[in-house]
Amino acid sequence: MNRKQFLEYVDHFNNHRFDKVASYFCPDVTLAYPDNFMGAQIPRVTGNTLQGPKEFIANYKAIAANVREVLNVGAFFSRGNQFCVELITEFHVLRTPPEGSPIAQWEKGDIIIMNQMVLYDLDEDGKFKRIRIFHHRYLDPQKTKHTKLPGHRSALAQRAASL
């Protein structure tokens, strides 16, 4: 996988072409989310692992029902059957997610921006076999270039205004 090929994948992801996204996966792909290293685990959010393309698509369709997620590619390193990507991931909350949702703590209008590293293992056909997400930090939307959606303020600005 090279950077150009990965940017094509990201374009499919950002435009919700999940059938195209799934074409990059082998049938038994796994996607592992990070644990909450600072405290209690959050069921279905921290330490969660998705199994297979169908589970991946179902998860992201559920998120996309309430949130516009945008992946922005930073650093990209590739060697052999592995590559590592820095992602600046934006979450624009379009509707307050329902109770019990993995993202239920967010509210309509929030903007959450994360800096993450993601390590990909490829199978012998070059398909994604194992994906591991590593969270680095949250970024301040007021200081970070991001996609502007009408009517959205950063979660930080909204919380500050309510104090």
Q: How far apart are the first and last CA of the chain?
A: 47
pLDDT at 46: 61
Q: Worst-scoring range by mean pLDDT, 53-57, 99-103, 144-148, 154-158?
A: 154-158
Question: Is residue 68 packed enough to be buried (19+ CB in 10 Å), middle (13-18) or exposed (0-12)?
Answer: middle
Structure tokens that stand for 131 in this block: 């994906």
- 126 conformational bin, left if phi > 0, alpha if psi -120 to 50, beta if neither: left
Residues forming beta bridges with residue 137, ordered by sequence position: 115
Beta pairing, strands 25-32 & 128-139: parallel
**Domain spanning 3-162: CATH 3.10.450.50:** yes
Confidence of residue 105 (pLDDT cuts 50, 70, 90): confident
Structure tokens that stand for 96 in this block: 């307050």
pLDDT mean over 141-154: 63
pLDDT mean over 98-118: 87
Could you report the per-residue pLDDT of 23-42, keeping only the tens digit for each? 999 999 999 987 665 556 66
Domain boundaries, the chain: 3-162
Q: Is the pTM here over 0.95, yes or no?
A: no
